[in-house]
Amino acid sequence: MLVEQIMKTEVITCQPHETIESALQLLNKHRIRHIPIVNEDNQVIGIVSDRDVRDASPSIFQEKNETNELKNEIQSIMTSPVMTIHPLDFVEEIASIFYEREIACLPVTKANKLVGIVTEKDMLHTLIQLTGVHVQSSQIELNVINKPGILPEVTAVLGRRKVNITSVLIYPNQNDQRYKILVFRLQTMNPTPIIEDLIAEGYEVLWPNMPGTI
Amino acid sequence: MAKYAGNHLIDCSSKFVYSSDFASYCFYDSHPFNQLRVQLAYELLQESNMLHNKHLIEPRIATEEELQLVHDSKYIEAVKKAGKGQLTEEEGFPFGLGTEDTPMFDNMHEASSLLVGGTLTAVDAVMQGMASHALNLGGGLHHGFQRKASGFCIYNDGAVAIQYIRKHFNAKVLYIDTDAHHGDGVQWTFYDDPNVCTLSIHETGRYLFPGTGNVNERGIKQGYGYSFNIPIDAFTEDESFLHVYETSLREIIEYFRPDVIVSQNGADAHVYDPLTHLCSTMNIYEYIPQLAHELAHQYCDGKWIALGGGGYDIWRVVPRAWAQIWNIMSTGAPLTGSLPLEWLNKWQRKAPVTLPESWQDIHPLYEEIPRKEEITEKNELSLNKALQFIRIKSGFSS
């Protein structure tokens, strides 16, 4: 999946000479946490987070409100240079940038101009979609030997029943490196026949496993 | 205010909607959704001398106009064509027709319209003052969507009935869904409607169909704060289930103050149910209708329409669970002791499992659940999260 498929294209921005106060108003009005600072050519020259603005604001314990902190230019507190990404970058790569750099927002630029923005929240939403939990489905988990060709063998069993697969996740079995866990979300309310088929074929079904009835 | 709880015998006027034609809603013989359940419950009540002709009403057939209160006309057309064998696999797919869950079958439109009509018949009986309560065990098909069949459901009778109540009687409706699956179709139909409050208690969607029903699904726009979801963990037992049910229902009804209750009484949270992973017993199927009954009298002048729903152990669980709804509805108390021999003799011959011989389960039905405490704690957290919103608003202390 590409950044251009998940980025927001309507970006709230500030010019460098605007006041911190106006940035604060934008943050509150749009309920956002980051504002890219752009010049007249729409090039990103800095970024400001809600925390930067708060740091620059007078303390709530300060009694007189005559301070002028918020009248300063936004460029006086912006972070620069800014890490940006391209619309054709892969979403997976962006996820590791968020993780490694401990940042929560990335402006997207094309030909050096701002075209969009991706936040950690957009990223999480994308991951939720990838797991398939937003679509009506049941989940089955299998523990399978980690060898080439196992996935088509399993999906062949699923394919015999007319059931649509909503999503497939594969991850290593942490207890035993020789195995992998396959997680399927299936568009059916009754996965029982499929589970029976899988068990009959010798697969280890981790879930659902029924409690022992007497 | 009068209390109707417990075992005080009271004779409420109640109606039982029944037709042997409910059985025409049949995907194929071995499909888990089997309307023989309704007949089994009906005959169990007759043999127990609880159901007489004066109680019975014939279901009517819902009109297309009524179906359109919830469903798209294009979807209805597709169902009609499917029932005549005129819908191809490709045409059926976008409507969820012809899948493993909801295959096409002959006259499926007529069969589905009868179930909806049954629920409308129950609504009319209650809203026109013919009875305080009415029961349609043929209904409760809560996975039906505006333009899609799913989860064994074609038309959503509960949703159509609630729209019908809104349109013709302008009453505020509390929908209570204790099926083990999330009541998604009804929830999404009224997601932005502040006059319809939905409460669904179900096994968490982490593994179980349909996967939705998270605590944070609270409604949108004016309907925000009128959808309640309490997902409970797999292997939840009676005590925790009932604590969640009683606490949530009492607080929500006090907050919402409905004019009428519509309950979906799916019976698939029982430990015997093959499709779900909850560990309830018959205890919950006695208390669920008892509390609904009590609160219907306390808040809604008695107005209560109860529906069937899921329930896939059709021999050992559903007949007893559903018959008890009627026992409580019509007398205020569940039956105890042995099941009638005539019923057992007739059906044991056909049942692939040994039928229970008494109304109550004989414990233990299952081995001890190792993580009981954690499960109970987790359910309590979900309950509190779901109710947080109204506790803040109405000053409830948690």
Domain boundaries, chain A: 3-128, 132-207
Contact B364 A214 (CB under 8 A): yes
Q: Is B208 on the interface with A (CB under 8 A)?
A: yes
CB-nearest to A138 from B99, B143, B208 is B208
**Confidence band, pLDDT 50/70/90 cuts, at residue A61:** confident
Residue A17 main-chain phi, psi, to 5 deg: -90, -5
**Residues 127-166, chain A, touching B (beta carbon < 8 A):** 133-139, 161-164
B369 contacts in chain A (CB < 8 Å): 211
Tens of pLDDT, residues A83-108: 999 999 999 889 999 999 889 999 99
**B149 vs A: CB within 8 A:** no
Chain B neighbors of A162, CB-CB under 8 A: 98-100
A-chain CB neighbours of B90 within 8 Å are none
Q: Measured between CB atoms, which of B207, B235, B272 is closest to A139?
A: B207
Low pLDDT (below 50) residues in chain B: 1-10, 397-398
The reported pLDDT for the residue numbered B385 is 96
**Which of A128, A136, A138, A167 best tests the B interface by mutation, with the highest count of B CBs <10 A?**
A136
**CA-based nearest residue in chain B for residue A164:** B99
Helices (H), chain B: 36-47, 64-67, 73-83, 89-92, 108-127, 157-169, 184-189, 238-256, 282-299, 318-331, 341-348, 372-394
Chain-centre distance of CA B391, in angstroms?
Answer: 26
Tally of CB atoms within 10 A around A60 = 5
**CATH code for the domain defined by A132-207:** 3.30.70.260
B271:A185 CB<8 A = no
CATH of A3-128, one of 1.10.1040.50, 3.40.50.300, 3.20.20.70, 3.10.580.10: 3.10.580.10
**Cα–Cα dist B336/B286, whole Å:** 10
pLDDT band per the 50, 70, 90 thresholds, residue A198:
very high
Six-digit token string for A71: 């009248």
Q: What count of Cα atoms within 13 Å lies in the side-chain half-sphere of residue B398?
A: 15
Question: Residue B14: enclosing H or E segment and its boundaries?
Answer: strand B14-17
| pLDDT one-digit tens code per residue, A174-191 | 999 999 999 999 999 999
Tell me what ipTM this predicted complex has: 0.73
Predicted pLDDT at B227:
98
Lowest mean pLDDT segment, chosen from A65-69, A74-78, A150-154, B112-116: A65-69
Residue B151 burial (CB < 10 Å; 0-12/13-18/19+)? buried
Of A68-77, A127-136, B32-41, the poorest mean pLDDT is in A127-136
pLDDT at B341: 98
Residue B356 CA to residue B205 CA, distance in Å, equals: 30
Write out pLDDT tens, residues B206-234: 889 999 999 999 999 999 999 999 999 99
pLDDT of residue A210: 55
**In a domain? residue B5:** no
Q: What is the pLDDT of residue A1?
A: 87
Interface-testing mutation among A125, A162, A189, A210, with chain B (most B C-beta atoms within 10 A):
A189
- Which residues from chain B sit within 8 angstroms of residue A129, using beta carbons? none
* pLDDT of A184: 94
Q: Is the pLDDT of residue A212 over 50?
A: no
- Across residues A147-176, what is the average pLDDT? 91
Among B274, B233, B270, B245, smallest CA distance to B373 is for B233
CATH number, domain containing residue B306:
3.40.800.20
A44-49/A113-119 β-pairing: unpaired
Query: CB-based contact (8 Å) between A111 and chain B?
Result: no
Higher-scoring residue by pLDDT: B116, A193: B116
Q: Let me know if residue B8 belongs to a domain.
A: no
DSSP state of B15: E
Distance from C-alpha of B205 to C-alpha of B209, rounded to nearest angstrom: 6
Give the range of the structural domain holding residue B24, as residue numbers without chain letter: 14-394
Q: Choose the mutation target among B33, B89, B209 for the interface with A, i.e. most A CBs under 10 Å.
A: B209
Cβ distance A211 to B99 less than 8 Å, yes or no, reads no
How far is CA B169 from its chain centroid? 22
Q: What is the mean pLDDT of residues A59-82?
A: 84
